[in-house]
């Protein structure tokens, strides 16, 4: 593999890792607060549709983004209502949200645009264009570093940079602020939070809404960043890969970034090479597809450092006594 090919694969890795990373950070906020979320996929899908539809109609990528966030937060609030207010089963709620998104997106898209459940292609203006960072062209000729800067770091949509900025911001919020302390506490020991005089319900709703916002950005990136419009089921299981990445990262922001890049790389490689020849042994492309899940299951089995999910995750808080 020559340098140029490597760069291309890595460039594609960054693009493919972006929605994973955003969804993964979304799940991180929700689950760190004790609300399990297997509905990342659905929220992302609905956001992608909202973005595609609004961007097409208005011709504005930013309005598309706002619509995506609004749609995703709406779904997040349904999840909050079910799992926080009505103390329902968080997993079942997540399943319902995934189907709701899957059905509603196509239903509405078909009704509005009559193109078989997709939005019409969104062209410039409606999409987040690739940004050329300063000096990318001048530095491009510098050996090694130049192409890395010009092709790999420069030349992505703004949402990509936002996604990677979310990581340090999240780490800061989680570990350095009062809100982060409380958020992490409510996922581990809601009784400690409650007896400290803090509202468990309000904290968890906040976390769920943040989750909605980030899923919204992820969906918007899929529809009007990575591609030019919404296509049915365009999330294609990314919400679940993000979930796997979250477990893999043990619910920590920087590790989440590492895992999402790894899973993004797997996708990029699978996309570029159908089967990989490793000196006589051929790795089928399907193995690459399944690898994130296989790795996660192995990790869950606890043979190599067992993941430690937030202790109060998945359970509604009921005051004792």
Partner 1 sequence: MDKMPPWADAVLVPVISLLLAAAISSIVILAIGENPIEALNYMIEGALLSSAGWGQVLYYATNYIFTGLAVAVASHARLFNIGGEGQAQLGGLGIAMLCLFIPFPHWTLAFVFAIVAAGLFGAAWAYIPAVLQAKRDSHIVITTIMFNYIAYALLNYMLVNVLRPEGAMEPASGNFPDNIHLPTFQEMFSYGDTILFRSAPANVSFFLAVIACIGIWVLVWRTRLGYELRAFGQSESAAKYAGINPARITIIAMLISGALAGMMALNTTMGYSERLVLNASEGAGFIGIAVALMGRNHPVGIFFAALLFGFLVQGGTELSFWTSIPTELIVVIQALVILFTGALDNMVRMPLVKLFALGKGDR
Partner 2 sequence: MDSHISTPPALELIGISKSFGPVQANKDISIRVMPGTIHGIIGENGAGKSTLMSILFGFYKADKGDIKINGRHTLIPDSQAAIAAGIGMVFQHFKLVHNFTVLENIILGAEGGMMLSQSLSAARKSLKKLADDYELNVDPDAKIEDLSVGHQQRVEILKALYRKADILILDEPTGVLTPAEADHLFRILDNLRREGKSIILITHKLREIMEATDSCSVMRRGEMVETVKTADSSPAELAELMVGRKVLLEVDKVPAQPGAPILEIENLRHVDEQGVERLKGIDLTIRAGEVLGIAGVAGNGQTQLLEVLGGYAHATGTIRVNGTELDLTGKLSDGQSRRANGIAHVPEDRHHEGLILPFTAWENTAFGYHHDDRYQKGILMSNKAIKQDAQEKIERFDVRPPNPNLAARNFSGGNQQKIVVAREIERNPEVLLIGQPTRGVDIGAIEFIHKQIIELRDKGKAVLLVSVELDEIFALSDRIAVMFDGHITGERLATETNAQELGLLMAGETNTQEAAHG
- The binding site for partner 2 (CB under 8 A) comprises 175-182, 184-185, 188-189, 191-198, 308, 311, 319, 321
Task: Choose among 208, 227, 260, 207: nearest CA to 49.
Answer: 227
Report the C-alpha gap between 256 and 19 in whole angstroms. 12
Task: Please give the Cα distance from 97 to 26 (Å, whole number).
Answer: 15
Q: Which is nearer to partner 1, 1 or 301 (CB)?
A: 301
171 is a contact residue toward partner 1 (CB under 8 A) = no
Indicate which of partner 2, partner 1, none lies near residue 106 (CB less than 5 to 8 Å, by partner kind): partner 1
3-state secondary structure of 292: helix
Closest Cα to residue 39, out of 48, 49, 30?
A: 30
Cα–Cα distance between 11 and 2 in angstroms, integer? 14
**Whole-number minimum distance, CB 82 to partner 1, in Å?**
4
Q: Is 215 in the site for partner 1 (CB under 8 A)?
A: no
CB closer to partner 1 out of 271 and 287: 287
Q: Strands 156-157, 276-278: parallel, antiparallel or unpaired by DSSP?
A: unpaired
Q: Which of 53, 92, 50 is nearest to 71 (CA)?
A: 50
Decide: is 90 part of the binding site for partner 1 (CB under 8 A): yes
**By the rule CB under 8 A, 74 interacts with partner 1:** no
Quick one: 306 or 311, whose CB is closer to partner 2?
Answer: 311
**Rounded distance, CA 31 to CA 36, Å?**
5
100 binds, among partner 1, partner 2, none (CB under 5 to 8 A by kind): partner 1
Instruction: Using CB under 8 A, list all residues that contact partner 1.
Output: 38, 78, 81-83, 86-93, 95-100, 102-104, 106-107, 110-111, 117, 237, 240, 243-244, 247, 284, 286-287, 289-290, 293-294, 296-297, 300-302, 306, 309
């Amino acid at each position: 593999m020559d340098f140029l090919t490597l760069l291309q694969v890595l460039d594609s890795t960054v693009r493919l890792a972006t929605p994973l990373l955003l969804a993964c950070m979304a799940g991180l906020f929700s689950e760190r607060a004790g609300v399990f979320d297997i509905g990342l996929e659905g929220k992302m899908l609905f956001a992608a549709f909202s973005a595609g539809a609004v961007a097409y109609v208005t011709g504005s990528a930013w309005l598309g983004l706002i619509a995506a966030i609004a749609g995703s937060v709406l779904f997040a609030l349904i999840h909050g209502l079910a799992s926080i207010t009505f103390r329902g089963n968080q997993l079942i709620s997540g399943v319902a949200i995934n189907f709701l998104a899957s059905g509603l997106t196509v239903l509405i898209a078909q009704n509005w645009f009559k193109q078989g459940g997709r939005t019409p292609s969104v062209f410039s203006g409606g999409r987040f264009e690739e940004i050329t960072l300063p000096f990318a062209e001048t530095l491009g000729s510098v050996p090694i570093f130049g192409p890395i800067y010009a092709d790999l770091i420069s030349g992505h949509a703004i949402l990509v940079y936002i996604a990677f900025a979310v990581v340090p911001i999240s780490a800061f919020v989680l570990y350095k602020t009062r809100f982060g302390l409380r958020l992490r506490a409510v996922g581990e020991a809601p009784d400690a939070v409650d007896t400290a005089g803090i509202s468990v319900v309000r904290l968890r709703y906040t976390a769920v809404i943040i989750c909605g916002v980030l899923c919204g950005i992820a969906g918007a990136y899929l529809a009007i960043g990575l591609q030019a419009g919404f296509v049915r089921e365009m999330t294609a299981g990314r919400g679940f890969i993000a979930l796997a990445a979250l477990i893999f990262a043990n619910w920590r922001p920087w590790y989440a970034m590492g895992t999402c890049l790894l899973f993004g790389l797997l996708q990029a490689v699978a996309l570029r090479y159908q089967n990989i020849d490793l000196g006589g042994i051929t790795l089928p492309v399907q193995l690459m597809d399944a690898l994130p899940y296989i790795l996660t299951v192995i990790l869950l089995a606890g043979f190599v450092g067992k993941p430690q999910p937030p202790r109060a995750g998945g359970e509604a808080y009921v005051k004792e006594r």
